[in-house]
A and B are shown apart, each in its own frame.
Chain A
Amino acid sequence: MILKGWYSQNGWRTKLILINQRNEPVRLRIKLFEGEKGRLLAMINMKLKPKEMRFYNLDRIKRISGKAGVILIDSEKPIICSGHLVNLNDEMKVLDYKLVSIEESRGCC
């Protein structure tokens, strides 16, 4: 499955919350782009343990500091992911959203 969302490290701080509800490990790949259709800035390979919930702070990735754009998560099995954005000037401003699953195109014919 492919999940799509938005991150911002430009005036905001983004944290991803990844949840594997299954009883088996799940491998996934997170891609961070510059803007909507810009460069691929970083790619993170991750493995979630069975029933694991992981918090991943995007501050760890220096290449995306000061940037904002699309997140794509390609997961071999279904997972849940939400984004948690906190405004740097006013920490009371918080955005929480769930990354949506995007459909793969179904065949040519």
Chain B
Amino acid sequence: MSREDLSVKIKFEPDSDLIVGEAPSGKSLAIRLSEDPSPLELMLIALGACAAIDAYNALIVRGGAVKVIEISLNCKYVRERNAHLDEISMTYNIEAEKVGRKEAEEAIKLSLEKYCSVGNILRRKVEIKPPIVKLRKIKNKSRGFNA
């Protein structure tokens, strides 16, 4: 196990309604509070983006050709004094070829549990339900066998 430092810098200018986050790589993200997603929404977007990249990697390594991955995230937001997220459910809509539905489901479940860093951080506090995977095959003329 190796530990690495990861630090980001946030600058909030209330007068200009602007939050700028700067990553160690020097890349930055500007958020206008009135126009852009809220920090909580951004956290879900980060989870979805991380999960999408991991799903893509999991399918590609199994010989799949992926065209689109769409993930819908739904969470229960508990509005009380200590507002928090209760559970997150994820539905994947994938357009791909050279990959079976069950195979995609297994690969994505594994990638979400094993590799998704954002998911692993959130899972300590929030229940992330097993993903629902819907696969739309582009074309696949292969036949399956059971040996």
Instruction: Choose from B49, B57, B63, B118 the contact partner of A70 (Cβ within 8 Å).
Output: B63
How far in angstroms is the closest Cβ of chain A from B131? 16
Residues of chain A within 8 A (CB-CB) of B43 are: none
B147 within 8 A of A: yes
**A42: Cβ under 8 A from any B Cβ:** yes
Identify the A interface with B (CB < 8 A): 2, 29, 31, 33, 39-46, 56, 61, 63, 70, 72, 74, 102, 104-109
Interface size on B, as a range, is 20 to 34
Q: B145 to A108, Cβ gap below 8 A?
A: no
Q: With contacts A29-B103, A39-B141, A39-B142 known, is A108 near B147, CB below 8 A? A: no
Using CB atoms, name the residue of chain A closest to B65: A37
Complex A-B: 22 CB contacts under 8 Å: A2-B62, A29-B103, A39-B98, A39-B141, A40-B142, A42-B143, A43-B100, A43-B142, A43-B143, A44-B147, A45-B145, A45-B147, A61-B145, A63-B142, A70-B63, A104-B58, A104-B111, A105-B61, A106-B115, A108-B53, A109-B50, A109-B117
At the interface, is chain A mostly helix, strand, loop or mixed?
strand
A31 to B99, CA, bound (A): 9
The B interface, classified by DSSP as helix, strand, loop or mixed, is mixed
Q: Which residues on B are within 8 Å of A, measured CB to CB?
A: 49-50, 53-54, 57-58, 61-63, 97-100, 103, 107, 111, 115-118, 140-147
B138, chain A: closest CB distance, angstroms: 11
Residues from chain A with Cβ under 8 Å of B141 in the complex: 39
Contacts of A2 in B (CB 8 A): 61-62
A14 to chain B, nearest CB (A): 15
Chain B residue, CB-CB nearest to A106: B115
